[in-house]
Amino acid sequence: MTAARRERAALVETMRAAGPDAPTLCEGWTTRDLAAHLVVRERRPDAAPGILIPQLAGYTDRVQRAAAESKDWESLLDQITAGPPLWSPLRPLDPIANMDEMFIHHEDVRRAVSGWQPRTLDNQTQDGLRRALSLMARLTLGKVPARIRLQTPDGTEVAAVGKGPELVVTGEIGELTMFVAGREQTRLTFSDPRVLDAVRAARRGL
């Protein structure tokens, strides 16, 4: 089983334990809303582009709300478990396209409650996240007013993006992934609090 498939199974298990009305780190979304998002992303090619394209987001939101309201909780979880259907272009790309998606949203559920702790990730999961981190950082942090260097605790640089005053972000691969995804609930250290504040302010406007 690939790391992406394992993370998908773990996400579904965590969501099932949390129930459909639990909070998530996705603002305004319960676990039911998050489940509907994942189903629409993989099973509604007419609506999926609105996840990334703001001009199409209204239609995507309507489809997602309809999915959340019309499908029972177990049906949503079963569709996530099944993964992309046979006709979906995401199916052969699952190990690449869904590694970050499943990990980040799994943590969105785990970290939305007090007392959460980072998981110890196996090497395959860390490698999968590491491969996508540089591209993901360029997409989400390339326009902030800083030179951001992401590194692991042993000093290994994972990615460097942007221009301006330097901000070194240090942490494990999973924590760096959550930071690049815009989540504040992380276990990281930052080299310059003032630059960090500027980055956070800029990201709210992205």
pTM of the entire predicted model: 0.91
| Residue 73 and residue 104 in one domain | yes
* In contact, 7 and 80? CB cutoff 8 Å: no
Is the pLDDT at 58 greater than 90, yes or no?
no
Q: Tell whether 50 and 131 lie within a shared domain.
A: no
| Domain end marker among 62, 77, 110 | 110
Residues of the domain holding 197: 123-204
The DSSP code sequence of 52-102 is: T-GGGHHHHHHHHHHHHHHS-HHHHHHHHHH-S-TT-TTTTTHHHHTHHHH
Handedness of CA 97, 184, 7, 22 (dihedral sign): negative
Of 69, 4, 5, 6, the closest CA to residue 40 belongs to 69
Per-residue pLDDT of 87-121, as tens digits, reads: 777 777 777 778 999 999 999 999 999 999 999 99
Which residue, 85, 110, 135, sits at the end of a domain?
A: 110
